Amino acid sequence: MSVAVLVSGSGTNMTAIVEEQRRIEKKGEEHYGRIDCVFSNVPGCEGAVKAVQWGIPVVSISSKRFFGLLGKSPDDEQARDYYDAAAFSLIEGVCTPDLIVLAGYRRRLGEQIHRQYSNRIVNLYPGDTTKDYLVRGVDASVQALRKGEDSIRATVFFGRYDIRFGPALVQSKPVSLAGFAEEDTTQMAEKIRSEAEWVIYPYAVHELIAKGRVAVDENEGVWVDGARMGRGGYRL
């Protein structure tokens, strides 16, 4: 399965997916997600540098410069479509991706890309996307603590244009928040990454999607191995 990964920063989740790919290749397994292209809206970011070192083709367009030259806000819908078209023309010049993985990509994809790659865009959130209390701009771990919760799950979900979180595909095991306070955001983020994010993203790409175990129905229901999942998707 051909995979294109979009990054804007350090690329730690991309690293976890690549490491799992290499482990599977070494074992001689046939079905896995092969990262054929990495795109970055921040040329030279750490994630892009890592991909170059691994021999993965990297293409980039500075979103800051692009929107600046257009004289448009990144939130302008038409300008976003222009940017996406330019970005994906580069990606599709390298490979024909079966799956688009957003790995710390800090640009919202426009409607045309979501339409073109319907149910083939996945993203990650360091929290439980099924919680009704989630707001933008506040760490998921902090919101969980404020609600009196002592653990948190990370979620891989399908990207959607018109809503923040699409259907959940897979959720991590609960990560304990015991002993943390709201100001411990860095420590909590590190714990969630190592115990949840770096586990479920490779699992979603290689074990579930690449092996053909996943389906999405017309009612946004997620199915794994022929069984309809609950709101939280496949839970580890």
Domain count for the chain, please give it: 1
DSSP 10-25: --HHHHHHHHHHHHHH
10-37 pLDDT, tens digit each: 999 999 999 999 999 999 998 999 999 9
- Region 199-203: mean pLDDT is 98
Length of the chain: 236
- Residue 55 C-alpha from the chain's centroid: 21
Q: Are strands 222-224 and 214-216 parallel, antiparallel or unpaired?
A: antiparallel
112-152 pLDDT, tens digit each: 999 999 999 999 999 999 999 999 999 999 999 999 999 99
| DSSP-H helix ranges across 34-103 | 46-53, 63-70, 77-94
- Whole-structure pTM value: 0.96
**What gap in Å lies between CA 162 and CA 146, rounded to an integer?**
28
**What gap in Å lies between CA 59 and CA 162, rounded to an integer?**
27
Residues of the domain holding 31: 2-235
Domain CATH number, residue 226: 3.40.50.170
Angle, nearest 10°, between helix axes 63-70 and 77-94? 130
